[in-house]
A and B are shown apart, each in its own frame.
Chain A
Amino acid sequence: MKRRTMIKTVAAATLAGVLMAGGAYAQEVIKLGASAPKSGPLAGGAEVSHWPAIKLWLHDVNARGGIDVGGKKMPVEVIEYDDRTSGEEAIKNIQRLATVDKVDFLVAPYATGLNLATAPLIAKYGYPQLAATAVTDGVDEFAKRWPNSFWLLGTSASFAESVADVLVKLRDKGAIGDKVAVVNVADAFGIELMNAGKPAMEAAGFEIVYETSYPLGQQDFAPIISAAQAAEPDAFVAFSYPGDTFGLSAQAKIANLDVGAFYVGVATAFPAYLGANGAAAEGVLGAGAVNPDAPGMAEWRARHKDVTGVDADYWASAMTYSSLQILEQAINKVGSLDKAAVTEAIKGGTFDTVLGEMTLDGNVNRKFWTVGQWQGGKFYGVASTGIGGEAEPVAKNGWE
């Protein structure tokens, strides 16, 4: 009996060994795991900025024959899971990707909350986490806590302070006066930006004439816009999420909110914003940006449309794509699929991305776009943390 058990064990072990060894030798493709919202409140954003960018990169890299790993071209395949915009679901997905699917690398999840929720687990499994869609003030703290995590899109403080800078520029031009109405969505991003933005505007000599917050998922913005209108502001600033960005803009147009500067948050850079607002989008300021006239950007956007069937946004789409370019170049440099080595390579390196040259200083991208503006049907970066090539902000001139 005993002996039989032992034989079985040995046989199983041998078989397992053969299978595992066989697996390692037979690896021809690089498996990439992706967990992000395909449903739930953030699916709308992920369908614009996250999934199509992955699809385009996958198309591009496989068209080249795959990633060059130590002289051997290895095609990439992506395993996609829906996290239903839930942190718990995202954690389960990462767990599954790491232990069941045994992916070689991960695409970082979508948005700040989901990246933070999964960071400890991703750190445990040692994957590099290139968070391309997280905006938070905790970047340095998080980079220290999870040395495998990289934060590319910027900090709330810079986003909010840049709004104040743009308003100052517009005030210097005589487009607006000192009175500002500020509203925010009562959720992580909106609150962080409000906390940083309000003092920055006050320090720049602006007077906050109306201030309020509203819950996530609000659909009726008539009371907010009319209350703001009653305060007769020169500028209107909303640290908003996609749904509210559209709602506030539509209401401002209907109420003919007469301001020289109109800023709304996430999703202003979405092509759908231009689609929904048409000519009224002209002069609207919003969170994040790219330089659409930068070398290669127009060509990249055209390819994005060609391959994925949808337009790239003017903000995080390119960053998500860049994060994958960084991963590819790091794998390239290391010449193996060793996660720790690739993570180290990302730390020290300078990378050539669709957004230009990118260096991660202390795991954080320090040069990013903060404010953009619709000008002539394109969303131009008007403020950044030192990228260069910013367009001049212009006054908002009515809603027609």
Chain B
Amino acid sequence: MSVIISGLLLGGTYALIAVGLTMQYGVSRIMNLANGENLVFACFVAFWLFTTFAINPILGIVLIVPLAFVLNWLIYTYAMRPLVDRAKNRGQLEVDSILATFGLLFILQGIMKLTFGGGYFNYNFLAVPVTIMGSNYGLNRIVAFIAAAVIAGALYLFLNHTRYGTAIRAVAVDPVSAGLVAIDVPRASAFAFALGGALTAASGALLSTFYTFNADMGIIFTMKALIIVIMGGVGDVRGAVLAALLLGLAETAVATFIDPGLTIAATYALFMLVLLFRPQGIFGKRPS
């Protein structure tokens, strides 16, 4: 039982890491390699707010999310839009955006190093045990899990039950046809990119309550997010959440019953299975 709960909690964390990238890659078609840096950046901001102004990280999210939204909007408008405009096809945009965000990764990393240095950071927030069925779990992880559920739920409702959400899904499916039905594709793409960035930042703020982070850790999160996004099916929130939960459960089960050294192997084994048998992702549609 404790394996399942721990696994779900871990999966919730992974879902948080991945939903932002799902939006950015699925809708805006930007394979954002700086996703992890964006997340760690939010960790630092949450840390700074908490240690300097004693602002509780959950409240901090209220500040961090709009900030990240604006920042990512600007990044999209000034750094990514030119790539989108000049790309002849999706493949070219992917290559270009990977290169561009690879550069962005180093810029963000550099800023963090300049401001905070390369050291390890963490702080104590809600690190109190909560007993569920005889085992203890960290309250901060449970809060993160609940937040992940709320964020994923809200995102799902927004995408499937609002007019603008439908427009965004249309862009995700086919940007050219979306334009034909009077959807402002550039604006929807920018919005999705900014929203994805804001979600990533929110998860960063939540993660910072129980992760030990430093300026170099972004790549770890980017890798995890990439695997989850591809497993779940590009641009599919349900798929990403399910993939994240599966990954969390698999890692915890392997760590408990086999060996903690094999968690990474389990991750990649699962990833390979999905790629072999459902290359379009769990919920992804076969390209027609």
A371 to chain B, nearest CB (A): 22
**CB-based nearest A residue for B13:** A220
B164 contacts partner chain A, Cβ-Cβ < 8 Å:
no
By a CB distance below 8 angstroms, the chain B residues around A251 are: 138
A-chain residues with CB within 8 Å of residue B135 when the two chains form the complex:
226, 255
B137 interfacial contact with A, CB 8 Å: yes
The answer to whether A276 and B124 touch across the interface, beta carbons within 8 angstroms, is yes
- From 237 to 287 in chain B, residues with beta carbon under 8 angstroms from any chain A beta carbon are 251-252, 255-256, 259-261, 263-264
A216 CB to nearest chain B CB (Å):
10
Chain A residues near B128 (CB-CB < 8 A): 254
B214, CB-defined interface residue at 8 Å: yes
Q: In the bound complex, do residue B118 and residue A38 qualify as a contact, i.e. CB atoms below 8 Å apart?
A: yes
Contact yes or no, B211 A39, CB < 8 A: no
Contact of B166 with A by CB under 8 A: no
Q: Which residues of A contact B121 (CB under 8 A)?
A: 272
- Asked if B261 and A254 sit within 8 Å, CB to CB, the answer is no
User: B263 is contacted by which of A43, A218, A253 (Cβ under 8 Å)?
Assistant: A218
| CA–CA, A224 and B3, complex, Å | 11
Question: Quick one: given A44-B214, A219-B211, A243-B212, are A39 and B136 in contact (CB under 8 Å)?
Answer: no
A246 on the interface (CB 8 Å rule)? yes
Q: Are B119 and A272 in contact (CB under 8 A)?
A: yes
Please report the C-alpha to C-alpha distance between residue A227 and residue B263 in the assembled complex, in whole angstroms: 15
B154 at the interface (CB under 8 A from A): no
Q: Is the CB of B122 within 8 A of A186?
A: no
Q: State how many angstroms separate the Cβ of B168 from the closest Cβ of chain A.
A: 32
Are A223 and B6 in contact, CB atoms less than 8 angstroms apart?
yes
Chain A residues near B138 (CB-CB < 8 A): 250-251, 254
Give chain A interface residues in 33-81, CB to chain B under 8 Å: 37-41, 43-44, 46-48
Check A212 for interface membership: any CB of B closer than 8 A: yes
Which residues of B have CB within 8 Å of A46? 118
Q: Is the CB of A226 within 8 A of B256?
A: yes
> A217 contacts B118, CB within 8 Å?
no
Decide: B118 and A222 in contact? CB cutoff 8 A: no
A12 to B228, CA, bound (A): 63
Do A218 and B120 contact each other (CB < 8 Å), given the known contacts A226-B135, A247-B212, A254-B137?
no
**A43–B260 contact, CB under 8 A?**
no
Main secondary structure of the interface of A (DSSP, over half): helix
Is A217's CB under 8 angstroms from B220's CB? Answer: yes
For B215, list chain A residues within 8 Å (CB).
Answer: 39, 43
A242 touches B127 (CB 8 A): no
Given contacts A226-B256, A267-B120, contact A254 B214 (CB under 8 A): no
For B263, what are the chain A residues with a Cβ–Cβ distance below 8 Å? Answer: 214-215, 218, 220
- Given A39-B215, A276-B124, is A213 in contact with B259 using a C-beta cutoff of 8 Å? yes
A43 touches B122 (CB 8 A): no
**Separation in Å of the B278 CB from the closest CB of chain A?**
26
Are A220 and B124 within 8 A (Cβ)?
Answer: no
Interface assignment of A278: CB less than 8 Å from any CB of chain B: yes
| Chain A residues whose C-beta falls within 8 Å of the C-beta of B256 in the assembled complex | 223, 226-227
B-facing mask of A191-233, CB < 8 A → 1, else 0? 0000000000000000000001111011110111011000000
B261 and A39 form a contact (CB under 8 A): no
Query: By the criterion CB–CB under 8 Å, are B120 and A242 in contact?
Result: yes
Task: Name the B residues within 8 Å of A222 (CB-CB).
Answer: 6, 9-10, 137, 252
What are 19 A-B interface contacts by the 8 Å CB criterion? A37-B118, A43-B216, A44-B118, A212-B259, A213-B260, A213-B261, A214-B263, A215-B261, A220-B10, A222-B137, A222-B252, A224-B255, A226-B256, A242-B120, A250-B210, A251-B138, A270-B120, A272-B120, A278-B124
Interface of B toward A, CB cutoff 8 Å:
2-3, 6, 9-10, 109, 113, 117-124, 127-129, 135-138, 210-212, 214-216, 220, 251-252, 255-256, 259-261, 263-264
15 new A-B pairs (CB below 8 Å) besides A223-B255, A246-B212? A38-B118, A43-B215, A44-B214, A47-B118, A48-B119, A213-B261, A220-B252, A222-B6, A223-B260, A224-B260, A226-B6, A226-B135, A246-B122, A254-B136, A256-B136
